[in-house]
Amino acid sequence: MKNIFDKTSINKLELKNRIMRSAAWMNAADESGFINESLIKIYEDLAKGGIGLINTGYAYILKEDKPNPNMIGIYDDKFIPKLKELTDTVHKHNAKIGLQIVYGSSTSTHPNAAEMDLIGPSAVKNNMTGITPKEASIEDFRHIVKAFGDAAERAKKAGFDAVQFHAAHGYFITLLLSPYFNRREDEYGGDIHSRAKLLYEIVAEVRNRVGKDFPVMIKINYDDLMGDKGIQFHESMEVFKRLDNLGIAMIELSAGNLAANPEIPAIRTKLSKIESQSYYKEAATELAKHVNAKVAFVGGNRTPSLFNEIINNSDIELISIARPFIAEPYLVNKWKENIDYKAKCVSCNRCWDTVPVSCILNRKK
């Protein structure tokens, strides 16, 4: 019988358990993108709390594209020394850490987004932000591919154990894959593999920069929850199989497109009943049948007994968790002491009301 607390690995990266902290924006870096002591403490607490693999909140790869305020920057070598302090701190507590990297495009909710030179696969208005990006040229695409490669190389130099692309929830790679947002008539538009062509080029660039053993991971939508306007599972599976062949080490499944105002939100609430939890497990179970890459999924994961049921009835390797770790960074240790311990998180989505991000249950009155 497999157990959520078993050791596992991604490529040659050994993890002390099968629990992963899904990337979550903490609104805690400084405005220039530098890590500070407050943010280091957030990740140190997660490391002390027993998590096997921690993924940071997304880091922006180009200075001119910043989806949110107070994000981690990775667009220049000047960020490496402070990020090295972060990775050294996490490693002291026998945890591993990956850096999530992103190009945001029109899904930017930064207060200064209107002043940014944002590009997208096509000049299609973003329903959430109201931003219409400039349609990218081939030269723009080359610039973005290089920026992802540079960011991954910096992450490795800074001591991160892995790098993860953010390809979910309406950011640039999501827009590339979506038939609604990608209306190009050149080699980067059309059928699913044409729409995914730039993603494949990004993966190849990063893999070339960091070497074959360094884990390259992706957090990606299996469904935009937009009906036939967005990407759906049958198309996603074709992309996942190609990514697997290109050497992606781990695929973390999510769904939902913030840019489309879907009726079913990507981040659901009202998860007290166990049947409402782990709501992407069926898609992850199906994906894991078809790829060699390790498979994880985020979305309503709250209950260790359910985690064990999932990993013993599928080829899913890791369970990914975000909001409960905002409420309780030491949650994994609590579960190790008592597997029936109930997470404090009530899935109210009030985490992002404060600067930095914090759980409403932990705020001082």
CA nearest to 176, candidates 135, 204, 212, 217: 135
pLDDT score, position 261:
58
pLDDT score, position 263:
60
Residues paired with residue 294 on neighbouring β-strands, in sequence order: 250
Task: Report whether pLDDT(364) > 80.
Answer: no
In angstroms, the CA 331 to CA 329 distance is: 6
The superfamily in CATH containing domain 8-360 is Aldolase class I (3.20.20.70)
Tell me which residue has tokens 């953010």.
166
Residue 304: cis peptide before it, omega within 30 degrees of 0: no
3-state secondary structure of 163: strand
* pLDDT tens per residue, range 252-298: 999 988 766 556 667 788 888 889 999 999 999 999 999 999 999 99
Q: What is the mean pLDDT of the chain?
A: 94
User: In 10 A of CB 270, how many CB atoms?
Assistant: 10
Task: Report whether pLDDT(365) > 60.
Answer: no
Rg (CA), the chain: 19
pLDDT (mean) for 40-44: 97
Residue ranges per domain, the chain?
8-360
Alpha helices per DSSP H over 92-196: 138-157, 172-177, 192-195
Mark 39-68 as b/e (b = at least 16 C-beta within 10 Å). bbebbbebbbbbbbbbbbbbbbbbeebbbb
Question: Which are the contacts of 47, defined by CB distance < 8 A and separation ≥ 6?
Answer: 54, 89, 90, 92, 93, 94, 95, 97
CA nearest to 45, candidates 4, 102, 86, 16: 86
* Greater model confidence, 184 or 113: 184
Task: Report whether pLDDT(347) > 60.
Answer: yes
pTM of the model: 0.96
pLDDT (mean) for 92-109: 94
In angstroms, the CA 96 to CA 115 distance is: 37
Burial class (CB in 10 A: 0-12, 13-18, 19+), 313: exposed
pLDDT score, position 256:
87
Task: Report whether pLDDT(45) > 90.
Answer: yes
Question: Which are the contacts of 166, defined by CB distance < 8 A and separation ≥ 6?
Answer: 23, 58, 100, 101, 102, 173, 219
* pLDDT tens per residue, range 46-59: 999 999 999 999 99
Query: Binning pLDDT at 50, 70 and 90, where does residue 114 land?
Result: confident
* pLDDT tens per residue, range 128-171: 888 899 999 999 999 999 999 999 999 999 999 999 999 998 89
Task: Report whether pLDDT(234) > 90.
Answer: yes
pLDDT score, position 262:
52
